[in-house]
Amino acid sequence: MNYKVSYKTVSLLISATFLLFFVALSFGYYEARNQENRVMVQSQSQISAHNDVVEDFEDFFSKTTHFDNPKELPVVTFLNPEGKIVSWDDFKRGYTLVNIWATWCTPCVVELPSLEKLQSIFKDNGLSVIAVSVDMSGGQERIKAFLNKRNISDFALYFDKEGLIQKNIPLRGIPTTFLLNPEGQLLYIFEGEADWIAPPAVDFFSKLLN
């Protein structure tokens, strides 16, 4: 049996094929744009949520300074808990929270336990917490006895024996806390006492280390 297909029929088939191709192409384009818009909205929502977390945390302090372009800290040395000389370079292994304190500073001593707990929460997530004493008398053994009496660990036994931090980094007062990035650069300066395990603080570091 012979079938004859007219030129008109062929033309209609070709036109229908092109129409279907165009519809499929258009659908794919608009679906891609919709997906792009959904990703953009989700990203903006995440940025907004992150900004809210940062603002809540910054409100903890009498003054917060954030550096969009991380700053290099002056080169200083101080003693670690074993009495060995260290510098900022020794902490280039993750984020480092550096608290400046003294035994005679009541707000400093009050916040040490929460700093210690913060370290225990995030130590496996790339955060190191150290507290450097700027006491000018008594030496490291006196500071160790002071900490032992209050059941505070050696994380706070770093000691600026020569007073180099205060000589090279302007401090408006203590406690003052620096947040360093993994390159040892300064991201934040937090001035004043804080509860470092309050929800805004935990949320902030969870976002930072995620």
Task: Let me know: does 104 contact 112? Beta carbons within 8 Å.
Answer: no
**Would residue 53 count as lying in a domain?**
no
Please indicate, yes or no, whether residues 68 and 153 belong to a single structural domain of this protein: yes
**Would residue 54 count as lying in a domain?**
no
Distances from the Cα of 129 to the Cαs of 81, 136, 164, in angstroms? 13, 22, 20
Q: What is the Rg, in whole angstroms, of the alpha carbon atoms belonging to the chain?
A: 29
pLDDT at res. 44: 44
pLDDT at res. 108: 97
**Would residue 128 count as lying in a domain?**
yes
pLDDT at res. 137: 84
DSSP 74: P
**Would residue 64 count as lying in a domain?**
yes
For residue 94, what are the contacts with CB-CB under 8 A and spacing of at least 6?
126, 127, 128, 182
**Would residue 52 count as lying in a domain?**
no
pLDDT at res. 27: 47
pLDDT at res. 47: 38
Please indicate, yes or no, whether residues 120 and 182 belong to a single structural domain of this protein: yes
DSSP β-ladder status, 185-191 and 176-180: antiparallel
Please indicate, yes or no, whether residues 75 and 144 belong to a single structural domain of this protein: yes
Please indicate, yes or no, whether residues 102 and 203 belong to a single structural domain of this protein: yes
**Would residue 158 count as lying in a domain?**
yes
pLDDT at res. 170: 84
Please indicate, yes or no, whether residues 84 and 7 belong to a single structural domain of this protein: no
Please indicate, yes or no, whether residues 204 and 140 belong to a single structural domain of this protein: yes
pLDDT at res. 142: 95
Indicate if the alpha-carbon torsion angle 134, 149, 175, 74 is positive or negative: positive
Please indicate, yes or no, whether residues 126 and 76 belong to a single structural domain of this protein: yes
Please indicate, yes or no, whether residues 104 and 43 belong to a single structural domain of this protein: no
Please indicate, yes or no, whether residues 94 and 198 belong to a single structural domain of this protein: yes
Please indicate, yes or no, whether residues 104 and 189 belong to a single structural domain of this protein: yes
Please indicate, yes or no, whether residues 81 and 15 belong to a single structural domain of this protein: no
Q: How many domains does the chain have?
A: 2
Q: Residue 35 belongs to what domain range? A: 1-47
For residue 101, what are the contacts with CB-CB under 8 A and spacing of at least 6?
108, 109, 112, 131, 132, 133, 134, 156, 174, 175
Please indicate, yes or no, whether residues 25 and 83 belong to a single structural domain of this protein: no
Q: pLDDT tens, position by position, for the chain (210 residues)?
A: 544 545 555 455 455 555 545 444 444 544 545 555 444 444 344 334 445 556 767 776 768 899 999 999 999 999 999 999 999 999 988 999 999 999 999 999 999 999 999 999 999 999 999 999 999 888 999 999 999 999 999 999 999 999 999 899 989 899 999 999 999 999 999 999 999 999 999 999 999 998
Strand-pairing partners, residue 65, are 189
What CATH number has the domain bearing residue 171?
Answer: 3.40.30.10
